[in-house]
A and B are shown apart, each in its own frame.
Chain A
Amino acid sequence: MRTSYTERAVRILGPKGWSALAIFLAIMLILVPVLHLLVPPGSPLHLSDYAITLSGKILCYAMVAVAMDLIWGYAGILSLGHGLFFALGGYGFGMYLMRQIGLDGNYHSPLPDFMVFLDWKTLPWYWQGTDHLLWALVLTIAVPTVIAAIFGYFAFQSRIKGVYFSIITQALTYAAMLLFFRNETGFGGNNGFTDFKRIAGYSITAPETRVVLLGLTSLALAGTLVLGRWLVTSRYGRVLAATRDAESRVMFIGYNPLWYKLFIWTLSAALCGIAGALYVPQVGIINPSEMSPAASIEIAIWVAVGGRGTLIGAVIGAVAVSLAKSWFTVSFPQYWLFFLGFLFILVTLFLPEGLVGLYKRIVFRLKHKDTANTETVFTLEPETISPPVAASVVSTAPTAKPTLTGESAA
């Protein structure tokens, strides 16, 4: 029997999840703008520019992590090339921002500075139309989507999976990075795009613009989470999880895993593209280092730290690791790699379910002691997430979010 849409909508996140999401959005869309724009800079409650930029950056990362979790946690496909889609989205939107500089560049030419520097006279064909915001938005989504769809189609059709797939995606992003490092490619070589001036006519450094961008990012992240939950709790999500756990059996039952995998893979790439497009105006730079294999593998560690197979885990992981990174690189730059390295090792060895798994285990222990009820036993397998468990998982959101804004204000 079909469940009603309202019932389904509630079930996607559960009442706790929905309220957590509402609190998060209220903070990002109302509290943060007030603290940043209306509270005078001297006040202890004032949110600095740095805090706004950092939160925007981390929320973009969180979105990438959720996209990564969709394919790794739910489809069992570990991509080591997701930085490519993120960077492609960023470059697509960066082209628009470069065109918005107009005549204000160092050379006062209608062409971007690096093209003047290379002595180019006209825009390359793929730059045509990038001065229109709408076309730039189409590019940011379409380019990663098309590339992911083509690559994914061939890869999944020849049933490449597991480590092979990971290594091919790594080679893919590595090749793209080499390509974008070249000046002749027409994307600014190793300097990439920077020195942006305005976006849709507004100054890109104005506090109002920053707040709006941060709000858009929060909405995009919230939308990604809802979409992700909806997908993984649907019938489609169940087939996907089944494909992850026993692809051959799924095939023998009569499903073609190709389309299931291809859809989630392409969707994940598109989400990364959107995250990249939101990232570039807030951070103010995009260059080929975003495509380095190391950047892509860091995305995987966000998901692993937070907990694979739980979307909120991806968010928590991205936030926690990124905050740690910005704190370490300022305070102890020489120890950051040690920390990250040991994080990789310790999480895989001792926290296979990530922070969310740890939380669930602790909660389970406590409950177990109180009620001694063996019936509520749930496995730690992420694929068996049932609505009640999902609700308890999502309920960690309110505790996570205020820490983010609170920390960045400090």
Chain B
Amino acid sequence: MNKILRTLLALVLGCLLMASAQAALDARVVKQLVDDDSDQKIEAIAALVKTGTPEAARLLQALSDDALYATDSRIWLKADDKVYDAVTGTEITPAPDDVDTVTINNRVRGTLDSALAGFKLFDPDPSARLAAAQSLQGDVGAVMIPALTLALQKETDSKVKPILEQLLAQANLKNPDVKARLAAVEGLTHSNSPNARGLLLTRLDPANEPDAAVREAAKASIASIDSRLAWTSALANVFSGLSLGSILLLAALGLAITYGVMGVINMAHGELLMVGAYSAYFVQGVFRNHFPGAQDWYLVAAVPVSFFAAAFVGMVMERTVIRWLYGRPLETLLATWGVSLVLIQGARTLFGAQNVEVSNPSWMSGGIELLPSLTLPWNRIVIIGFALSVLVLMWAIMQKTRLGLFVRAVTQNRPMAGCVGVPTSRVDTLAFGLGAGIAGLGGLALSQIANVGPDMGQGYIVDSFLVVVLGGVGQLAGAVWAALGLGIATKLLEGWAGAVIAKIIVLAIIIIFIQRRPQGLFAVKGRVMD
């Protein structure tokens, strides 16, 4: 089959060079094409490619689309909702009603696809040429060299050209001429595709590559590709670390208020993330049922819903449980753990124990392709931006608003703040609600990249506490640096040692770090003794 394919592709070139247009096709060849025997069909395809006319292309396309019909008397095909005679190429009206589709097997289809791709390298539409070139990328043989050379000469499109160049180099790797092979190996040095690396690897084997110089050159090329791929994967790791860090930041910002500023150990913080994520799921359902047209914008509507849902749960918690436990951190820890169990079971009862599906809006799918091996997904970019804007907003609330002023005052000196008229208990409730609401926003962001399920929050509680502790209690800047550092370190270590080991290493580092600096990265300087 491979042999036939090669001849065939060589013929593509031949026919194009001749470029002799014939309106009608050879009736014998067309008859052969509908023969029951696959070998006959493949021979006919080869013959048709040789003619190189648009009619031949149309005929092959029809065969590929299962739109070629044959009876004993005549053969006809359907294209663009019109019916043509297969031999003369003239339109038939009215359409015949006797239908007997010409079927093809996989072997014939493989040949047919290559033949069609060869035709399409010369298509006037650049995007069709691009698709054709990309479809050839997997397997390209030495027989394609003349066709590719010709196509490369004619090619003007900047997107198609590099692919064709690379295809040519790949094809040249199998060229019997040693010099051509050497040039091809050197040409592939600048490739970023893992595909090219695989091809070069085959050149290292003396059984495939008799020439030692080519083997050496291939080794050098692989090394250079590897170092570039390593760079891009490190970049990709840093990027996913940033996005993990921004999730941690959203989770930790809420904690930075409730724990850092108010001194409340809220073990239900992860469940507030869950509340936010389920709010996104709920809003998505509402949009699906009532505003299917605006489906893409459900996420925007979910922002306030997530915030207020989580803030409401947080304020209820503060009023009913946490209020009575101020100053008893270990008891708060146990009570809020109880709250978290109740919330998890509540979500299970309401939404079921299975994970629910929260989809990305269409404007968040896809990504920016920086390099062939490095794509930055939009959803992660949006999350990073979202985390930044929440951070700015929170800074503004804490520094510029009356509520922020009160929260800081109560933190610094509760009795004094009370004396000058700050309603301390209301400030506590509002501050707790703010922290919880930000956790809800974190859950909303999380719903876009992770599973949404009743116990999704459990995995983040340890991490977000570590961020707060690492950054230094009560320090927003510390939380930011700790979250980003933790995210990037985790992802880089994951690339090097695997997810579980990376997690263990990070935890070990943090444990050691806290031993050395119990006050965190950004300690408040002072001489406080408990």
Contacts and interface: CB of A to CB of B under 8 A. Distances in A.
Interface string B232-273: 000000000000000000000000000000000100000000
Interface string A309-346: 00000000000000000000000001101101111110
B324, B333, B516: residue with the most chain A Cβ atoms closer than 10 Å:
B333
A166 B333 contact: yes
B333 A178 contact: no
A338 B345 contact: yes
Contact of A158 (B340, B341, B507, B518): B518
Contacts of A178: 500, 503-504
Contacts of A163: 265, 329-330, 333
B95 interface: no
Nearest to B341: A341
Nearest to A176: B504
Nearest to A346: B338
Contacts of A162: 329-330
A344 B515 contact: no
Nearest to B516: A158
B518 A160 contact: yes
Given A166-B333, A338-B342, A342-B342, A172 B518 contact: no
Interface stretch (A54-62, A296-304, A374-382, A399-407): A296-304
Given A337-B342, A337-B345, A171 B331 contact: no
Nearest to A158: B515
Contacts of A341: 338-342, 345
B500 A181 contact: yes
Contacts of B339: 341, 344-345
B524 interface: no
Interface residues of B, number: 40
B462 interface: yes
B465 A348 contact: no
A359 interface: no
A78 interface: yes
Contacts of A164: 469, 514, 518
B466 A167 contact: yes
Nearest to A163: B329
Contacts of B397: none
Contacts, number: 110
A155 B513 CA distance: 11
B335 interface: yes
A171 B334 contact: no
Interface in B477-530: 500, 503-504, 507-508, 510-511, 514-516, 518, 529-530
A337 B341 contact: yes
A231 interface: no
Contacts of A247: 530
Interface in B340-380: 340-342, 344-346, 348-349
B416 interface: no
Contacts of B503: 175, 178
B516 to A, nearest CB: 7
Contacts of B341: 337-338, 340-341, 344
> Chain A contact residues: over half helix, strand or loop, or mixed?
helix
Contact of A348 (B331, B344, B515): B331
Nearest to B454: A337
Nearest to B505: A175
A154 interface: yes
Nearest to A160: B518
Given A158-B516, A344-B338, A345-B335, A171 B462 contact: yes
Contacts of A368: none
Contacts of A160: 514-515, 518
B337 interface: yes
Given A168-B514, A341-B340, A175 B333 contact: no
B338 A78 contact: no
A48 B468 CA distance: 51
A308 to B, nearest CB: 10
A33 interface: no
B392 interface: no
Contact of B511 (A159, A171, A334): A171
B335 A348 contact: yes
A367 interface: no
B507 A174 contact: yes
B321 interface: yes
A349 B330 CA distance: 12
A94 interface: no
B28 to A, nearest CB: 61
B530 A248 contact: yes
Nearest to A175: B507
Interface in A140-174: 154-155, 157-160, 162-164, 166-168, 170-172, 174
Interface in A268-315: 293-294, 297, 300-301, 304
B325 interface: yes
Contacts of B518: 158-160, 164
A179 interface: yes
Contacts of B333: 78, 163, 166
Interface string A176-198: 00110110000000000000000
Contacts of A159: 518
Nearest to B345: A337
A343 B338 contact: yes
Contact of A344 (B335, B511, B529, B530): B335
Contacts of A293: 458, 462
B326 to A, nearest CB: 13
Contacts of B330: 78, 162-163, 166
A297 B338 CA distance: 10
A248 B458 CA distance: 35
Nearest to A169: B511
Nearest to B508: A175
A352 interface: yes
Nearest to A185: B500
Given A178-B500, A349-B321, A248 B338 contact: no
Contact of A349 (B324, B344, B510): B324
A160 B518 CA distance: 7
Nearest to B342: A341
A162 B344 CA distance: 26
Contacts of B265: 163
Given A154-B515, A155-B515, A344 B334 contact: yes
Contacts of B516: 158
A342 B516 CA distance: 38
Contacts of A301: 334, 337
B529 A248 contact: yes
A182 B342 CA distance: 30
Given A167-B469, A248-B530, A334 B338 contact: no
Contacts of B338: 340-345, 348
Contacts of B324: 349
6 contacts: A164-B518, A171-B462, A179-B500, A294-B458, A344-B335, A348-B325
Interface of A: 78, 154-155, 157-160, 162-164, 166-168, 170-172, 174-175, 178-179, 181-182, 247-248, 293-294, 297, 300-301, 304, 334-335, 337-338, 340-345, 347-349, 352
Given A248-B530, A348-B332, A348-B335, 18 more contacts: A158-B514, A158-B515, A160-B514, A163-B265, A163-B330, A167-B465, A171-B507, A172-B507, A175-B507, A178-B500, A178-B503, A304-B334, A338-B346, A341-B338, A341-B341, A341-B345, A347-B334, A349-B335
Interface of B: 265, 321, 324-325, 329-335, 337-342, 344-346, 348-349, 458, 462, 465-466, 469, 500, 503-504, 507-508, 510-511, 514-516, 518, 529-530
**Closest 5 interchain pairs by CB?**
A344-B338, A341-B341, A341-B342, A337-B345, A175-B507
